[in-house]
Structure 1
Amino acid sequence: MSRYGFLVSPSHNRVYAQTAPALATAELAVFGERALGGTVRDIGITEIGGLPYVTFTADELTETDLRLLSNMSSLYALFALESDDLLRPLAKRPVDLFGSDLLTIQKYAGKTNEDFTRLLVNVTALATDTPAGLVTGGMRLFDPMCGRGTTLNQAIMYGMDAAGLDIDAKDFEAYSGFLRTWLKNNRLKHRAETGPVRRQKATLGRRLQVSLGASKELYREGSTIDVTVVNADTLRSGDFFRRGEFDLIVTDAPYGVQHGSRPHGGGNAGRLARSPRDLLAAAVPVWEPLLRRGGALGISWNTFVAGREELADILESNGLTVHASEPYLGFAHRVDQAIRRDIIVATKN
C-alpha cells in the first residue's frame, strides 16, 4: 500500500473553503468505491506544513487511477507521501478541454459554486454503470433546471454533450449570450442557432442549438460537442428530448417555485409550494424516462425545506435506486443561515 495526499483548491467563497476538505474526503470515498475498486483506505485530513491535505492509502495508483482522480472537484495538487511526510508531486491529467474561464467568468447572484457543480457531476457520473466514462468520454448530460448553465458548462469542459431546460426567459437569454460570446472570444469553431420550437402550429418554447469543436481539426471531422438549451417548463421536458437519451441528469433544485409548472392559468393556480419536494414529485416522473438504463440522476437541494427520506421516496417510487452507502451520505454542508445543502444520487436499473 502507498500513501497519497492532495492539497485542496483555494476558494474565494469563505464558507465553501471551510467545508471543502470534508466534501473532498466524501468525494474521494465515492471515487474509491465506484471507480478504484475499493482500494482507497484511511481517508482523512492531515495538516502538513500548516495546510490541510486530504490523505489516503491505496494500491499504487495506475495511469487510469490518476486520470480519474485528477478530476476531483477540489484537488489542487496531488502527491505521493514519502517517509517523514515528504511530498513527491504527481502530474495531474484532468479531462478539461477548455480554460477555467468557461466556468468562472459568469458572475451573478445565486450562482452555484463551480467546485460544487463539478463535485455533483462527478459523483453522479460515478454512479452510472460505466463510471470510467467520466474520463473516456461519450456521456450525455441533461440539466432540467439549468438556470444560466453552470452545470452545462462543466459538461462542456468534460467534452460531454449537454442539454438544459429552464423556464426563465432571462436566464435563457443570458446563457445564450454568454456561450456565443465565449466561443467567439476563444476563437472556437462552432455553429449556433436560436429559434422557436413548434409542434402542430403551436410554439412550445425557444431553443438554442450549438455545435462546437475542441479544435479546428475535430470540428472539421464532425467530432463536435453538442449543446441544446430550451426555454420551457421542466414538466414538458419529454416534449423536447427522447426517451433514454441521457446518461446523466444533474440539477441543483431551486429553493422557490421558479421552475414549477403553472398549467392552469394566472394567479396562484397550478403553482407548486416552496418545497422542492412538490416540484420533484411532479418532475421526476417526467425526467426518469429520459434517462437510459444504467444512467444516474443527481440532485442537490436545501435540507431545511425537504428531508433526504422524502426525496428518496420520490426517486424510488419512480423506479430509481438511491445510493445510500456511507460515501454518498457525506455531502451535507452549510451554505448560509437558511441553506444546508446536500446531494442525493440514484441509478436507473
Structure 2
Amino acid sequence: MARRDRAKRRWRRRTTDENLVSYKNLRNRCSRLCREAKRRYFDDNLANHNFADAWKFLRSVGIGKSPVIVSKDVDLISLNHHFSLSPVTLDSSTKSSTLLNLSSLPLPTCSPFNLCSVSEDDDQGTFAGFHQGCMTRLILRRVVNRCRCLPFDYTSKELDVEDFTICSWEHYICIYQTIEMIEVDIKDIISDSECYQRCDYVEYDSEVEFVKHQRHLTALNGTLSRVLVHFSQNTCMKYRREVLYTWDQMLANLGGIFGLCLGGSVISVIELIWFLLEVIYAVLCSFCKNYIAPKEKEKGKEKVFVITHKEMLSKKTSGKKLGKYKFMN
C-alpha cells in the first residue's frame, strides 16, 4: 500500500502515461490482495461455526438487519405536535401570486424530456433496464462462457448464453478467478456495453487516505456529522453445503436394511449378546469346578501312616473308625 501511495503522489506531481500505468497496476494489485484477505477472513470465520456464531459474525461486519437507533437530540413531543396539527391553509391570492412568480422564472436551455415506450426486444430481460442488473448480466455472461456452467437461480434464456448445467463445487475456483479478472477490467465492460443509470441516480466520488494519529477526532461538535457508509458488490453468489444424512438417519436406514434383508432387529442383537454371556458364564463355572489345587511342600510337614488288617480290605467297610498312629521321621 505504501508503494501504491507513492505511485499516486508521483502521478499527481507528473501526470504522465507511465506514472498512470504504474499507479493502476499497484492499485489493482492492492485491491486483489485485499479481496483475497477478506475472502480468507470470511472463510475462516464461517467454515467451522454453527449458524448462531455465523450470524453474530455477519452482524459484526454490517450484514443483516440494522438496529433502530433513535437520536436523543430529537424532541419527539414537538415532532408529534407538529404532525398532529391541522395543515396550514393558503388563500387563493397567495396561491395565484406563487404560481405567477414561478411562471415568470426563465426556463433552462436544455432539450425537452420525452417519454417513449420500450419493446421486449430492447428490454433484453426482466432486470436489464437498470444499471446494476445490466452489469450483473454482463459479468455472469462472461463467467458462463469461461467456466461452462450456469450460476444458481439463473437460466440460459435470462443470460442469453448456451444451455449448460448448474455450477457445482468443482467450478468454485473458476468462478472466483473469472470474477477477479472481470473486476480488474470492469471499465472495458462498461465502455463496451449500454448499461444506463436510473433517472434519480446520484454518484459520489470518494478518496481514502491515511490519517495521522494526532488528527483523530476525540469529540463531535455541533457542526460535524457522522456518516456510516456500507459498500456492496454488484453480484452476490452463495453456495450452501448441507448434510445428506445425520447419524440418527444413517442408523435408521441401516437398521431398516438389516431388518429387511436379514430379518434382524434389536431383539435379535440382544438375544445374541445374551447367548454369548451365557457361554462365557458356563466356561467360567466349569473352569472353577475342575480346578486342582497345587501340591504343598512336604518339607517340615508330619507324615501320617494308617495301619489296617489285611482281611479288612476284602470285607465291606463298616462304620467303625480305625485307629491312626502317628510316626515322626
TM-score bin (small chain):
under 0.3
Taking structure 2 as the reference length, the TM-score comes to: 0.20
Higher helix share: 2
Taking structure 1 as the reference length, the TM-score comes to: 0.19
Rg (Cα) greater in structure = 2
Greater relative contact order structure (CA < 8 Å, 6+ sep): 1
Higher strand share: 1
